[in-house]
Amino acid sequence: MMVENILILSPHTDDGELGCGGSIVKFVEEGMDVSYVALSSCEKSVPAGCPADILRHEVKKATEVLGITKLLLHDFEVREFPSLRQKILDVLIEIREKVHPDVVITPSSYDTHQDHKIVREETLRAFKKCTILGYEQPWNNITFDTMAFIPLKKGHIMKKIEALNCYETQKNKSYFGADFIKGLAQTRGTQIDEMYAEAFEVIRWVIR
């Protein structure tokens, strides 16, 4: 299967990096065209004393570290996605017509966050003719289907950690820690006899 265009869908700034940051680095290294869409910059959730748009600046720095040059930011209200699902679908369809992705990477079917659930559901509606993979976020997942793996090298994981370090506002969260990121990648790598990997749910698989 020839893959050229990959679309990363991040409900909020940082979800894409957390879910598949190492894979993004590998995609870019291999010459794939990677687009990253963040649907919310979570202005209502930024720490007290920070500018409301701080996450917009942090995601720009983080995606630059990963090598992404195509970044699209939207302003849907955090935790309000269920009431905005038609507008979100409309935006995703616009993105589909602009990007024409071969593969879309989105939150998994097992993600319990209300915004993530809506993005996953509307992804399937907007991109049903594409391969769709769901990324892993253990703090939101009750369970997870490790049906696809992307082997990674140490450099890919270190770049992922470097990108996450751009989020000064989020560094108090345990799942941003370097030990956690490396540990999860080592666990997934061990499952396929590699040093590191990221795992994905196969939501839809289209072979052309």
Residues 28-68 pLDDT 10s: 999 999 999 999 999 998 998 899 999 999 999 999 999 99
Give the per-residue pLDDT at 12.
97
Span 79-117, pLDDT tens digits = 999 999 999 999 999 999 999 999 999 999 999 999 999
Angle at the Cα of 57 (from 40 to 112), degrees rounded to 5?
A: 30
Owning domain of residue 146: 5-204
What tokens does 69 get?
């040059």
The domain that holds 167 is classified in CATH as 3.40.50.10320
Sign of CA dihedral 111, 116, 121, 126: negative
Half-sphere exposure at residue 182, Cβ-oriented, CA atoms within 13 angstroms: 9
Span 148-203, pLDDT tens digits = 999 999 999 999 999 999 999 999 999 999 999 999 999 999 999 999 999 999 99
What's at 166, amino acid-wise? Answer: C
Report the mean per-residue pLDDT for the chain: 96
pLDDT > 70? residue 140: yes
| Alpha helix ranges (H) inside the chain | 15-29, 54-66, 85-99, 114-126, 154-164, 178-190
Global pTM?
0.97
What gap in Å lies between CA 198 and CA 192, rounded to an integer? 10
Angle at the Cα of 36 (from 195 to 200), degrees rounded to 5?
A: 40
Indicate the number of domains in the chain: 1
pLDDT > 70? residue 143: yes
- pLDDT confidence tier of residue 1, bands split at 50, 70 and 90: low
